[in-house]
Amino acid sequence: MSAIEFNQVVKHYGQFQALKSVSFNVEEGDFFALLGPNGAGKTTLISILGGLAHATSGAVRIMGHDVATDYRNARRAVGIVPQELVFDPFFNVRETLQFQSGYFGLKKNDDWIDEILASLGLTDKAHSNMRALSGGMKRRVMVAQALVHKPPVIVLDEPTAGVDVELRQTLWQFIRRLNQQGSTIVLTTHYLEEAEELCNRIAMLKQGQLIALEDKATLLNKGKSRTLRIKLLDGTLPASLQPLVITQAGQQYDLKLSDVAALDDLLAQIKQAGVTLRDIEVNKPDLEDIFVETMHGTAA
């Protein structure tokens, strides 16, 4: 059974079609990235998942529970951290988490609340009123609220937007631990280096359509070729390597490198020509390169 199933999901807002027959699964234990530019449909998809919006057609299931017809069990199976900072100004942090627990019928879960507070660096803020917290601390409380009922699926919608480095590190250490313990994580972010470091599977949306869905390693290998950057101390680049030149600036050359195995042959040709190297560097495409290529290279 998949943790999340999106099956031909369509969403209209009047004449505007926000989602166009989106179908994909998130498997149990995945650390899954959902990427796309603003307006791609990511938040709409998450809103349908959490019951804040209803699909015009199609079906969505969480741990086998349909979000429309079996919504109680579906809601219990997921914790969602939204982009917006939404909080009740009349309660302190601990009271906020206790009330959130009550929504799911949970009592006497103070030990778990204490663990969440400690893991997110909120212990010393437990009795602070929500209004007195900084934006970063409010963000931590929202993560805690999503986790208080111990859902097997956790959805993080831009969780580190506009927050400091310390919060990012604290949050990712905790979320990584939850994932290692079996939780399924879905992340949307504009910080592509986060997605590349954390996630094992990646989907990309563009104008309401799914345009890529791959394991991270497979997706990165589909990108543009590696490049070999060399700086010559003396001599000139062998004529046999000239067709591989992408750019040249003085004695610095960027050469197309089809794969790592070709590196030995390139260096052998340079050595045979009697050329002395000052520096060498192999650059491989990162997720940002792949993202830009995919968004620009796929028809809407």
Residue 156 pLDDT grade (very low, low, confident, very high; cuts 50, 70, 90): very high
Task: Please give the average per-residue pLDDT across 76-95, as a whole number.
Answer: 90
Is 293 inside any structural domain?
no
Cα(212)–Cα(169) distance, rounded to whole angstroms?
28
Instruction: Look at residue 18 and tell me whether its pLDDT is greater than 50.
Output: yes
Between residues 251 and 209, the one the model is more confident about = 209
On whether residue 39 sits in a domain, the answer given is yes
Identify whether residues 249 and 184 lie together within a single domain. no
Same-domain status, 232 and 268: yes
SS3 2: coil
* Residue 247 pLDDT class (50, 70, 90 cuts): confident
User: Domain residues for 209?
Assistant: 4-220
Q: Let me know whether 276 and 129 are in one domain.
A: no
Residue 188 domain-assigned? yes
| 112 and 249 fall within a common domain | no
Average pLDDT over residues 279-293: 79
pLDDT above 70 for 225: no
| Spatial distance between the Cα atoms of 81 and 175, rounded to a whole number of angstroms | 12
- What's the pLDDT score for residue 154? 96
Res 300: pLDDT: 37
Confidence of residue 220 (pLDDT cuts 50, 70, 90): confident
Predicted pLDDT of residue 67: 96
Query: Which residue in 57, 22, 15, 58 sits closest to 41, CA to CA?
Result: 22
Q: Which of the given ranges, 173-177, 242-246, 261-265, has the highest pLDDT on average?
A: 173-177
Domain count for the chain, please give it: 2
Same domain for 52 and 90, yes or no, is yes
- Is there a single domain that holds both residue 168 and residue 264? no
Kindly report whether the global pTM for this prediction surpasses the value 0.85: no
Query: What is the C-alpha separation between 298 and 286, in angstroms, rounded?
Result: 18
91 pLDDT higher than 80: yes
Confidence tier at 221 by pLDDT (50, 70, 90):
confident
Is residue 200 domain-shared with residue 231, that is, in the same domain? no
Percent of the chain past pLDDT 90, that is, above it, reads 51
pLDDT beyond 70 at 224: no
- pLDDT number for residue 229: 85
190 & 255 share domain: no
pLDDT of residue 99 exceeding 50: yes
49, pLDDT greater than 90: yes
Residues 102 and 41 in one domain: yes
Q: Rounded mean pLDDT of 117-134?
A: 92
- Read off the pLDDT of each residue in 50-68 and give the average, rounded to a whole number: 95
Listed in sequence order, the residues at least 6 apart from 40 whose beta carbon sits closer than 8 Å to its beta carbon are: 205, 206, 207, 208
Q: Is there a single domain that holds both residue 277 and residue 154?
A: no
Burial of residue 135 (CB within 10 Å: 0-12, 13-18, 19+) is exposed
Is 290 part of a structural domain of the chain? no
245 assigned to some structural domain? yes
Q: How confident is the model at residue 68 (pLDDT cuts 50, 70, 90)?
A: very high
Q: Which residues contact 293 (CB under 8 A, 6 or more apart)?
A: 223, 224
Question: Looking at residue 299, what is its pLDDT?
Answer: 38
Averaged confidence pLDDT in the chain: 88
Residue 190: pLDDT over 70 = yes
Structural element, H or E, at residue 72? helix 71-76
